[in-house]
Structures are given as structure tokens and as C-alpha cells.
């Protein structure tokens, strides 16, 4: 069961890294190409009409990027915590706990963005003033959820990095974890677009790199391993027949 958790964590971590990369790409490239600049995301007169016109595109970036990364990262945090629970029990437990808190923050932000922006985009046409006031109120809650995600993800990255740097195979992703932790914590308190982009890019790399190392260490990929076991069982049955 332990090896299965680590293999599953390796699979989930790669998905989390790709999903977070897609979220960053969507915010920086896809949405601007469709007419929404990065600054426009904080302007209700820009983003609400955009969400109304590009509902599917907004869903694809927000859910397949933000929410999927948050959910998959929970599995990764639990698997990494299990991997280092014997070598560095304090760092492993702190990292897993803080990481789950951070994932909940980012997941809540993605859901709030999805189910808050949609109704407000419909409300914007007949009642612009009401929609703008509601948007500003929601923005405060959304910013707080993102801040929770950033601060706890940064602390989790630093906690795990302190354990990973002691292991030869994990030193490189551990170094990326240090960069991720520092960037995430700074991004929580410094409202800078470039810093936010760097922190999310570093997190995506850290997720994927850590997952790949752990998956290689734990054996074959989880799903391939399961299929291989089924095939071998089928062959044994055919031989017995």
C-alpha cells in the first residue's frame, strides 16, 4: 500500500504540474489572446463580459488548470510526506499538512472564481452597478483564498526541501522547492505580477520533478503496474487451463 501511494503520488504530481502550467499559460497567453489582459482580470468591466462571451474557455483554464492542480497536489503532498516520514518525520508531517492547507486554498479560489464569476457575468448586463459591487466584495474573499494557498504552499515547499536536500536523488527538486517556497511566500505579501508568475512556474516544475523522481524510485508507473498485474494474472490462468 505504501508503494502504491508513492506511485500514485508520482502520477498525480505530474498531472498537478501540467495542470498548473496550463493555468499559468491560460492566464498569461490564452486569455490575453482572446481579449483579456492580465490587468483586466481585476477590472469587473473587462472580466465579466469576457466570462460571458468565453464561458467554455474560462472553465477550461480555471477548472482544468487551477482546480485540477489543487486536487492532484493533495495526493502528491501525502505521498511525499509518506516518502520522508522515516528520514525526516517533522519536515514530512509539516510539509504534508501545510501542503494540504495550501491546496485547499487554491481549490477554494478556483471554485469561487468559477461559481462567482459566472452568475456575476449574467448579472452584469441588466445591473452593472450591482455586479461591480458584488465583484469587489468577492475579490477580497478570492484574494484571501489565494493568499492562503500561496503562504501554505510556500511553507510546505520549504519543509519538504529541508528533507529532500539530504537525499542525493532529491537534491535538484529540493533546490527547486527552496526557490518555490521563497517565491510563494514573497508573492503572498508583494503584489507583483512577475513574482506571481515565477512562483507558479516554479511550483509547477517542483511538482512534476518531485513526482518523476519519486515514481522512478518507487517502481513502474501506478496504472501500468496495475495493468501489468492483470495481464500476468490472465497469462497464469491461461497456462493453468
pLDDT in tens, 118-163: 999 999 988 999 999 999 999 999 999 999 999 999 999 999 999 9
Q: CA quadruple 77, 81, 82, 83: dihedral positive or negative?
A: positive
Distance CA 183, CA 66 (A): 18
pLDDT in tens, 62-113: 999 999 999 999 999 999 999 999 999 999 999 999 999 999 999 999 999 9
Mean pLDDT over all residues of the chain? 89
Element (H, E) at 156: helix 128-164
Amino acid at each position: 500500500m505504501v508503494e502504491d501511494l508513492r506511485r500514485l503520488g508520482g502520477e498525480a504530481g505530474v498531472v498537478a504540474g501540467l495542470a498548473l502550467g496550463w493555468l499559468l499559460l491560460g492566464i498569461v497567453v490564452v486569455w490575453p489572446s482572446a481579449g483579456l489582459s492580465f490587468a483586466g482580470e481585476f477590472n469587473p468591466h473587462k472580466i465579466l463580459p469576457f466570462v460571458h462571451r468565453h464561458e467554455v474557455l474560462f472553465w477550461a483554464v480555471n477548472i482544468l488548470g487551477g482546480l485540477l492542480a489543487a486536487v492532484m497536489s493533495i495526493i502528491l503532498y501525502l505521498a511525499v510526506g509518506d516518502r520522508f516520514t522515516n528520514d525526516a518525520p517533522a519536515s514530512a508531517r509539516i510539509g504534508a499538512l501545510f501542503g494540504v492547507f495550501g491546496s485547499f486554498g487554491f481549490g477554494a479560489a478556483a471554485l469561487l472564481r468559477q461559481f462567482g464569476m459566472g452568475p456575476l457575468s449574467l448579472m452584469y448586463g441588466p445591473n452593472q452597478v450591482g455586479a461591480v459591487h458584488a465583484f469587489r466584495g468577492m475579490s477580497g474573499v478570492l484574494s484571501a483564498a489565494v493568499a492562503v494557498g500561496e503562504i501554505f504552499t510556500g511553507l510546505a515547499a520549504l519543509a519538504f526541501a529541508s528533507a529532500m536536500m539530504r537525499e542525493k536523488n532529491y537534491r535538484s527538486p529540493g533546490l527547486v522547492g527552496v526557490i518555490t517556497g521563497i517565491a510563494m511566500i514573497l508573492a503572498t505579501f508583494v503584489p507583483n505580477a512577475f513574482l506571481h508568475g515565477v512562483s507558479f512556474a516554479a511550483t509547477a516544475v517542483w511538482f512534476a520533478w518531485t513526482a518523476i523522481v519519486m515514481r522512478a524510485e518507487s517502481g513502474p508507473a501506478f496504472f501500468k503496474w496495475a495493468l501489468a498485474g492483470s495481464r500476468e494474472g490472465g497469462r497464469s490462468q491461461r497456462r493453468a487451463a
